[in-house]
Amino acid sequence: MLNVSQPVQLKAVPSDLKGKDFLTLADFTQNDIFFLLNQALEMKKLQKKGIPHPYLRGKVLGMIFEKPSTRTRVSFEVGMMQLGGQAIFLSSNDIQLGRGETIGDTAKVLSRYVDGIMIRTFAHDSIEQFAEHAEVPVINGLTDLHHPTQVLADLLTVYEHKGTLSGLKMCYIGDGNNNMCHSLLEGAASVGMDISVASPAGYEPNLQIFENAKRIGQSTGSQVAYTSSPEKAIEQTDIIVTDVWTSMGQEAETEERLQVFAPYQVNKELCSYAKDDFLFLHCLPAHRGEEVTPEIIDGSHSVVFDEAENRMHAQKAILKHLMEG
C-alpha cells in the first residue's frame, strides 16, 4: 500500500461540484472523479496525522435509511464529525415518509432544515424524485440500482495499492444485475480501467447501464465486456470484485441463488487465472463459503478492510465539495 502521508496526485483540475447531487458515477466526468479521489487522499492524510479539517463547520447532513447499514451510517456520521459538522439519522419510521407523505414534500421540508441529504433506499427512482424536489445536495448511499459512494472508495483503494487506475483490468464475478456491478461498470469505465463482468444467464447487468458504460469507455480507452464464464472474465485481471449472491429484498430467492451462483464462487482455483498480484475487493458484509472462500477474503490479496475504511475518506470528499460554502 502506498504511504498515505505522501502527496499522491491523479491528474485533475479543481471541479466545482457545489450544490450538485451524487446519484450515479455516470453523472461525473473523469476529471471530477480524479479530483474527488485526490481530495479523499488529502483528507485521509490529515486524519492520519491528527490535523483538524473542519471544512463543514456548522453544516448538518440528514441521513435517511430505508435499508439497514453498518458502514454507510458510521462512515457518513463520523466523516461529518471530522469535517466539523453533524449528521442526523432518520429511519423511515422516524419521518412522515413511513406514514404516506410524498417524497417531494419530505424533500422540500428537509431542505429547509439541513445542508445535505444522504439516502439509502430500495428503488432508484425514489432518490431521483427526492433530488428533483430537494433544494440541497442529495447523495446516494445505496439503491437497488447503484452504489456510487462504495465504488468511489473502491477506486481509492485500488489507487492506493496499485499507484494507478487507467490500464488496469477489473473483473466482477457474481450477480450482474446488482448495484455494485452497475456502479463498478460506470466507475471503471470513467477512469480508463478495463472491466469484465461474469454472471449466469438471466443475471446480466442492466442493459442500459452496461451500454452507457461502454460509451463512457470509448472516450477513456476502457474495455467493457460481459461473459458467462468466470474463468474468462478473471483471466489476467488485476482486481477481483464480488458481492453477496442474495441482496436485501431477495431473501425469498436464497436457495435458488445458492445453486445458480455456485460456479461463480471466488476461490483459490478461480483466482489462479488472475495476475499473481491481484487485489480482492468486497463491499461487505460477506458470506464466507458462499460468494468467496475464507482463504481469499482473509488472505494476502484481500484489501476489504482498507476498502471499508476508505468509505469514510471518499465520502468526506463528496460531502466537502457538495456542501461547502
**174-190 confidence digits (pLDDT tens):** 999 999 999 999 999 99
pLDDT at 97: 78
What is the mean predicted confidence (pLDDT) over 137-158?
Answer: 98
Q: Residue 4's pLDDT is what?
A: 45
Confidence (pLDDT) at 250: 86
Annotated binding-site residue numbers for carbamoyl phosphate: 69-72, 96, 120, 147-150, 283-284, 311
| Statement: residue 90 has pLDDT above 80 | yes
In the predicted model, is pLDDT for residue 94 greater than 90?
Answer: no
Strand order in the sheet with 169-173: 224-227, 194-198, 169-173, 239-242, 279-282
Model's pTM, two decimal places?
0.96
Q: How confident is the model at residue 98 (pLDDT cuts 50, 70, 90)?
A: low
Q: Binding site for L-ornithine: what residues are annotated?
A: 179, 243, 247-248
Q: Indicate the annotated binding residues.
A: 69-72, 96, 120, 147-150, 179, 243, 247-248, 283-284, 311
What does the pLDDT average to over 115-137? 97
- Kindly indicate the confidence band of residue 100, based on its pLDDT and cuts at 50, 70 and 90: confident
**Which residues are known catalytic residues?**
120, 147, 150, 243, 283, 311
**Taking all residues of the chain, what is their mean pLDDT, rounded to a whole number?**
95
The answer to whether 180 and 147 have CB atoms below 8 angstroms apart is yes
